[in-house]
Every structure is written in structure tokens, then in C-alpha cells.
Amino acid sequence: MAGPKGTSEEIKQQLLWVAQESLRTNLVHGTAGNFSARLPDGNVVLTPSSLAYETMTLDDLVVCDLDANVLEGTRHPTTEKALHLACLAAYDDIHAVIHCHAKFCTMFALTHQPIPCAIEEVEVFVGGDVPVANYQFTGSQELADEVSKWVGDRAAVLMANHGLLTVGKTPKDALKIANLVELTAEIIWGARQLGEIQPLPDSTREKMAPIYKMLRGM
């Protein structure tokens, strides 16, 4: 499986940009949310715990190995590090993870409702409905094990009573998915006020389902 694109420095810069862009576009609020990416040497760069994104610099990022040993950085990695490391350890075809509490996604997560794949783009870029992983306590290994199970054939999963997790080949990919899923959650929520959501024809879904698998390299 192809490793991450770019040098270690380029990946760290992209991760920082994605974290700050997520704040600018209201995908995250305050210091919530956390971001990670695999580096060319197989270690993982993560955002630090409870630090303002506006003033975060490359020196604030933390590098860990897949067993969560800190290798670089003076800060503590995000308290959700297990979540990120479990996803990256389980799937060698994905190289970036975003976890956030995006508003509309979290509304679905609180009501344990999957976001239905009623829009073609979602089939192509997410791989189907966005499922709901079972509730586990925040920051726990149990949460990491539970959530990581769901992103084997899907780019996004809701975390029950908590929020959203997305994966991608790069931090920008994972951000694109998070924005797509959040917009879709808002559209589905609004469409339900208007009436019943009509599913995509099966023939369309069958035609499009292989595209995500191909993008993912499955």
C-alpha cells in the first residue's frame, strides 16, 4: 500500500493548516476536535491537547509512534490519541484522521441515526451511509477500538453521543470528507422537515459503490 505523500515537514504543515481551516469554517469550536497524519517513517503527527488553533505552530505538534510513545514535541498529544492511532494502525491505506463535534453530525450522533447516503457524492467519497459507532467513554481505548472498526470501507463514522470521525489519504482529504458529511447532515436534517427522503436508485448506488473502493485502493 502506498505510503503518505510528501515530506514529514509538508505533512505537518498541511495538518496544521487543516486544523486552523477547521476552526475558520466552524467545523470545530474553541480547542475541540483533533487531527493526525501518518509521516513517511510510519510515525504519526498529532495536534496537542487543549491548545488554541489560531496561535498553534508546527512546534506545538506532537509526534508519536503507533504505540503512543511521544517521540517529538514538548506538549501532550490530544486526549483522543488512541482514536487516531487505532485507525492508522488498522488501515495502512489511510494516512490522516480528523475527529470533531461538527454541529449537524453531532445531532445525528446524539439520536444514534446514521446519515443516509441519498446524494451521489456521498456514495463516491464516503462509500455509503455514515454509520453510528456504539458509545464508549471519551479518550478510552474501548472508544478507539469501537470507532476504528467502522472505517474499513467508509471514510466517515458518527460516534454515538459524541461527534464525527473521518479518514483520508491526506489531512486535506479528511477535511474534505468532514465538510461533505457535515453539509450532508444539514441537508438531510432540513429535507426531513420538508418530507420523506427518497433513496437513490439501487442501480445508481451499485454503479457508484466501486468508485470509493477504487479511490481507497481496496
Q: Which residues bind Zn ion (CB under 5 A)?
A: 163
Three-state DSSP class for residue 167: strand
Which residue, 119 or 136, has its beta carbon nearer to Zn ion? Answer: 136
| Closest approach of Zn ion to the CB of residue 209, in Å | 30
State the DSSP H helix or E strand holding residue 13, giving kind and residue range, or none if neither. helix 8-24
* Minimum distance, C-beta of residue 36 to Zn ion, in the bound complex (Å): 13
Of 163 and 168, the one with the shorter C-beta distance to Zn ion is 163
105 versus 115: smaller Cβ distance to Zn ion: 105
- E-assigned strands of the chain? 34-38, 44-46, 62-64, 70-72, 96-100, 132-133, 156-159, 163-168
Q: Which residues contact 88 (CB under 8 A, 6 or more apart)?
A: 36, 38, 44, 66, 94, 95, 97
Q: Measured between alpha carbons, how far is 124 from 175 in angstroms, rounded to an integer? A: 16
Least distance in Å: CB of 117 to Zn ion?
A: 24
Q: Which is nearer to Zn ion, 94 or 144 (CB)?
A: 144
Buried b (16+ CB within 10 A) or exposed e, 164-175: bbbbbbbbebbb
Q: Of 77 and 116, which CB lies nearer to Zn ion in the complex structure?
A: 77
Cβ proximity to Zn ion, 74 vs 137, nearer residue:
137
The closest residue (CB) to Zn ion is 163
Q: Least separation, in Å, of the C-beta of 99 and Zn ion?
A: 6
The distance of closest approach from Cβ of residue 116 to Zn ion in the complex, given in angstroms and rounded to an integer, is 23
Give the nearest distance from C-beta 17 to Zn ion in angstroms: 21
- Partner residues linked to 36 by β-bridges: 46, 97
**Cβ burial, residue 1 (10 Å; 0-12/13-18/19+):** exposed
Nearer to Zn ion, 149 or 205 (CB): 149
Q: Give burial (CB, 10 Å; 0-12/13-18/19+) of 193.
A: exposed
CB 196, min distance to Zn ion, A:
32
Q: Which three cell numbers stand for residue 171?
A: 489531512
Cβ contact 48:75 at 8 Å: yes
